[in-house]
Every structure is written in structure tokens, then in C-alpha cells.
Amino acid sequence: MAKKKKIISEDKLPENAHIAGAGLVEDQRITETLETNYMPYAMSVIMSRAIPEIDGFKPSHRKLLYTMYHKGLLNGARTKSANIVGETMKLNPHGDAAIYETMVRLSKGYQALLHPYVDSKGNFGRAYSSDMEYAASRYTEAKLEPIAAELFQDIDKDTVDFVNNYDATMKEPVLLPVKFPSILVNNNIGIAVGMASAICSFNLGEICETTISLMKDEKHDIATTLMAPDFPGGGLVIYQREEMERIFETGRGSVKVRSVWNYDKASNCIDITQIPSTTTVEAIISKIIEHVKSGKLRDISDVRNEIGLSGLKITIDLKRGVEPERLMSRLFGMTPLEDSFSCNFNVLIAGVPNVMGVRALLNEWIAFRIECVRRRVFFDLNKAKDKLHLLQGLAKILLDIDKAIKIVRGTDEENEVVPNLMIGFGIDEIQAEYVAEIKLRHLNREFILKRTDEIEKLEKNIEEMDGILKSPSKVKSIIIDELREISKKYGMPRRSELIYASEIEEEEDIIEEIPDYPCTLFFTAEGYFKKITPQSLRMSSTHKLKEGDRISQVIETTNNQDVLFFTDMSTVYKAKVSDFGDTKASVLGDYVAANLGFDEGENSRYMVITSDYSGYMVFLFENGKAAKVELSAYATKTNRRKLIGAYSDKSPLVSVFHIQEDGEILLTASSGRMLLVHTGALAVKATRSTVGVQVMTLKARNRLVKAECFTDGMLSKPDRYRKKSLPAAGSMPAVEDIGEQLTLE
């Protein structure tokens, strides 16, 4: 944690001490703070950490791999990971933990990449499990995978630029001269400041073939050679041609991936062996358990994590009679067993972030690789020319070896040997220096003839290299040959199989058949809910209730109905009766607030059961107003479980009723006055949150305290409480109506 600056007051300073500017606070404009402090940080994250470049690597990846290459770990034996991490810190100053995490992700053991670059030994964890953590670097070993050789070949031939490391003690490459489009072969995800990058992986063979076709024809249809992403964890890619073409052209889009499963009839269980790379085993199991506890999934008796030496495995035990295909169709929609990879092909090109499609990315890589090959050929050409120049000087010595020996022996001073050879044979200083350095044992005709025989071969090679540099088509031919070789050497069959969206439409359209049977619903004042079958109710009708609680609603209905719970915070929560399990009268039941995730302090007030959302809702408020709203106003096309603004919150709610037909409601005020109101006199309001209309006039400090549906026999003289027009104050109760009716709250 950063230490706070301590402001020292001048009156507390030691005698004769003075600190300039102590205790002063300087104002700074927010724009200046952003420009001087935040912008450099944001640019550093974008340029040096989160966004990959055209070689397919972020700086942390590149520094680690180059360090391993520099240590000779391409062909040598494995070494402790801690050694590699320590060496990498000479290039990467961000700490050993970050470096080791980078190595883990690039390793074969972690299984996050289609073509890992690090050959690992020991526990490197697993990408598909958040609980399987990797071992410390002192316990594991690593070296480079054979495919890493294609990242560094010819790196010493000036194919890429080198820069100083952070303390200018070493040189490191700006990019790696990768021989294949690694940017699209291995997935890469990064979050920068204000932008992000998410590049999915494609099959190496398909990418090489697509690149070759694109080099031959700029208008090549990518979809004919590049089918779809190929994920390291496998899975089934749901293929949609339009979405794939969008990704190919824009670099943005979404790819749906399904898990691979099989049904074991003998054990009556489902084994899941491949999952989308965007999720983990623990996340899937947690979601399944959540739905089982909430009652949404009733066909599962157990779910287990069975990851072992054979790899990933999730086992789901089924109840008797469950159809596995139907259950998996539901699980795909309710859990991460089907997930999406959101593509955002954001790549640094010449230091500038660009979101590019597959076509544009491959064209950029082709341009980058052409430059690498040209620089390599130019480097080899200069080396060949230098060697040819030396051998041409040696050829002149061949004319008279004895003369050369005589010149060397006859020269008194060593520094005069080279000038004398230059004069004696008409050669330049470089050639003379080369001749002068020849060992005495090599001053024979055979040695010199063998060396000068190379002149013709060198001249031919130089002519070929000159031709390559002058011909773009020859450079492309070299790249094409290299891509074919890499595809043949490292190509693998697809891990992610394709299924077409049209093939699963029928599965996706399957609606769960909810068993429909009669049941009785009990709802208590404290918010407890019970669903009891008639048979169970006949066996025991004595209810267990929380102390002080009472049953407020009893509704006979069927299991295949919607249930709405209105709360005291102007909110309604929607569910299915089938979401709640059958229970008995002898238990407390389901606490609705916990099951449906009410906000803190929120309590349920009223329950509505419906299938067609017919009828009306009538709300009565303390201020004497009433609101009448069609129940259809609470029907939604989507599966929203929470609707805010269910009714007006301008005055506290006294009572709420669901009515199919208009009838009378008996209102009681705190003053004792009573009023019979016919709901037919209330106009239906279009908005749920309407404040309603005044039906009962109340004097100051009086309020409406009770409302109940009126039935015959409740009052001895009901006409006494009916009024010709509304609003009305109502009447004081008759003597025979006092008692049960006048119950003030």
C-alpha cells in the first residue's frame, strides 16, 4: 500500500530547520492529471502488456520465449522453471510471479493452446479447472517445444530489429520472425485500458492452406479453406456461415461452442468429456447445483467432478426414466455447457491498435513475413559477397604461392606484411589480411584449390539471391514452401468438430413438458409457500407454521401455472408453480423471499396464480385511493423474473386483490367509518404505477386501514355503506356490525 505523505507544519520544525513548500497543497487541473499521469499508464498497458502484435505475442510471451531460446532450451534438456524465470527477469522487470504465470499458459501441461510452445514437466495445472493450481517454479521443469524452432529460425540473420532491454545490458527482438501465422493459430486474450483483444485459435493446417491461397489470389474466399475456430479443449462448434464470414471480414463476432457428452446406459449417467474453453468444470458444476436446488432441474440425482489421469470428466447421475437428450438440451441453455467466444481481433500494427478480420490479419502477416525473408536473403547475400571477395583474393595467391611466402619472409616488420601483399598481388586490404592469417599448414596448392572451387558456387548463389530480391513472386514462393512444410510437420486433425445450426434447431425448440396435476397452494402472511397434492392433503391437513404466522391465501390450481408475488416495495416477482417442489402440510414450506432473491428488507404481500393473465389487479392505498390495472400488464414476452414499478409507491399499500369479475370491496378507515366500493366504478388504468383515484375521503390524520372482498352476510345493512357517488366518507358502523367488522389496525 502506498504511504501517505506527511505534511509537517512549520511551527513544529526543529529550531533552525526549514523545508521549502512544506504544508502547501497545490491545485492541479484534472485534464493535466489525466495527460501527465493516466495517459502514459494507459498507453503502456496497450502497447507493452495486453494487446498482441503481428507475430502473435505480447511482450511478456516474447521475452520469455526468447530467453529460453537464448539459453539453448530448444534442443537441450529441461531445466528448472525457476532458472528460466530468473533469466527472463533480465528482460521482463514485472516480477517472477507474472513471468511464471506466462510460462504456465504457454505450456503443454496447462492445455490452453492448440500448439503449446513450452514442453513442461510437473504440475502446471489445467486451463479447464480453477481448482487445479500449478506447482511452484522450483518444482517444475521446462524447455521449448519443437514447433518453437519455427519462431526463431534465422533470428540471427537480421530478420527482425533488436532493441536494448530496460537497463541497456542486453538486446532483445522487437518481434519474432515467425514462419507461420501464429497470431491466429493460438488463442490470445488481453484487457487493456479502454480496449481489449480476444483472438480465438484456428487449425494450423487450415490457416497455412488459407494463407497460401490468399498469397496466390487476393480475392480468395476464406470460408472455403478456413472452416471455423478450432479450440484446444475441443467441443462442438455451432457453425453459422453468416457469423463466420463476419468474423473473417471484420474480426468481430461470436462463436457458440457446445460440450461433448455421451450417455452410459448401464450406470444411467451422462459423461461430459469436452467443455468450451471459456468456462471451467467448477463453474459448470456450480451452475447445475444452483438449478437443482432452485427446483428448475429435477432430473439430476448427483453431479461429480471426475477429473483424473485420463483428463476432463464431469459425471451427471440421472433419475429413473429421464431422457438424456432432452436433459442435455436444457443444460445447454441453462449452464455454461454451451458458451460463446466473443471475437475481437485487436492487434498492434506498427504500434497502433487495429481491429482486423482474418483476411486483413493474414495480409498483414504476409507483408511482415515477406520483409523477414527479404532481410534474411539480403543478409545471406552480403555474407556471400564478403566470402566471394576473400576467395577472389585467395585465387590470385594461387598464381604464385612461393611469391606470397617470399613476400612474408622478406618483410622485416609485421605491420608491413599486409601492404606488401597488396602491392605484390594487386589485392585490397581485406583480401590481404585474409591471406596473411592463413596458417602455415594451409599454404599448399590443394587447400587453396579447394577453397577457390567455391567461387563458382558462390557466384551462382549470389545471382539467385539477387533474383529473389528483385522478384516478389520468388519471395512468396519461399514463404509458401515454408508454410507447406510446417503444415505437414506440425498439422493436426481438428479438435473442435462442426455442427450446423440447422441440425440443432429442433433440439433448441424442445420445450420441457411440465407435468400438470392438481395441487393446492398455501401462502402465509410471513411469505412461506406450500404446494400440496390432494393425496398428501388428505393424509394430513394440519399445517406447521412459524410462530405468529397465519395462512393468508389458499388457492386450488394445477402445476402448470404462473405465480406472481407482489411485495411491499412496488415490485412483482414471477415464477412457475412447477419451480416449487411438492411438499406436505407438516413442513414450513419454501420461503419465497429467499427462493426468488428478494432485495434486503423486502416482504411479499400477495400471491396471484394465472395462466392467461386475465382479470384485474386492484390496489388500495392508505390515502384512500384505489387503482385498477389489467393483469395482462404484468405479462412479458421474455423470461423476466422481476418487474419494478408494479404499483404506485406514493402512499403505503393497504391491500391488493386479483379479481376476474367486478365486485364490492369493503373499506375501513382508522376513524371507524366503512365504505362499500364497487370495482366496476373504477376506471382501468394503462400504467402499472398509476396513483389511482380517490374512493374514500379521509379527514386529517385519518387513513385507510383495512380492505376486504365483500360477500353476502358480512353486514346486516350493506346499503348503509353504499354511496351514490365516489369519493365518499362512508358511514359509521351500525351496532350489529360492530365487532368482527371493526378491527382497527
Instruction: Please give the positions annotated as active site.
Output: 139
Distance (Å, rounded) from C-alpha 676 to C-alpha 326?
A: 54
Nearest to 562 by CA among 583, 576, 552: 576
| Whether the Cβ atoms of residue 696 and residue 675 lie closer than 8 Å to each other | yes
Q: Which three cell numbers stand for residue 154?
A: 534465422
Distance (Å, rounded) from C-alpha 233 to C-alpha 229?
A: 12
3-class secondary-structure state, position 130 = coil
**Which string of DSSP letters, residue by residue, matches 387-431?**
HHHHHHHHHHHHTTHHHHHHHHHH-SSGGGHHHHHHHHHT--HHH
Distance (Å, rounded) from C-alpha 247 to C-alpha 496?
A: 17
Q: Which three cell numbers stand for residue 674?
A: 366503512
Nearest to 389 by CA among 454, 447, 440: 454
Residue linked to cell 391437513:
541
Residues contacting residue 311 through CB under 8 Å, at least 6 positions apart: 273
Neighbours of 381 (CB within 10 A): 17
Residue linked to cell 482486423:
356
Nearest to 300 by CA among 328, 273, 274: 328
Residues contacting residue 520 through CB under 8 Å, at least 6 positions apart: 531, 532, 533, 534, 537, 554, 555, 556, 557
3-class secondary-structure state, position 329 = helix
Q: Is residue 695 classed exposed, middle or buried when 0-12, 13-18 and 19+ CB atoms within 10 A define those classes?
A: buried
Q: Which three cell numbers stand for residue 497?
A: 468438430
Q: Which three cell numbers stand for residue 627?
A: 387503482
Distance (Å, rounded) from C-alpha 670 to C-alpha 743?
A: 9
Distance (Å, rounded) from C-alpha 30 to C-alpha 45?
A: 21
Please give the helix or strand (H or E) that residue 248 lies within, else none.
helix 241-250
Nearest to 722 by CA among 656, 690, 668, 678: 678
Distance (Å, rounded) from C-alpha 70 to C-alpha 179?
A: 18
3-class secondary-structure state, position 380 = helix
What are residue 404's DSSP bridge partners?
none
Q: Is residue 114 classed exposed, middle or buried when 0-12, 13-18 and 19+ CB atoms within 10 A define those classes?
A: buried
- Between the alpha carbon of residue 262 and those of residues 138, 175, 234, 269, 324, the distances in Å are 40, 44, 15, 9, 9
Spell out a b/e string for 545-573, using b for 16 or more CB atoms within 10 Å of the CB, else e. beeeeeeeeebebebebbbbbbbeebbbb
| Whether the Cβ atoms of residue 425 and residue 448 lie closer than 8 Å to each other | no
- 27: amino acid identity, one letter: D
Give, in degrees to the nearest 5, the angle at Cα 221 between 220 and 222: 100
State the sign of the Cα–Cα–Cα–Cα dihedral 452, 456, 461, 467: positive
Distance (Å, rounded) from C-alpha 461 to C-alpha 463?
A: 5
- Between the alpha carbon of residue 188 and those of residues 279, 517, 665, the distances in Å are 15, 52, 66
For strands 236-239 and 497-500, give the pairing.
parallel
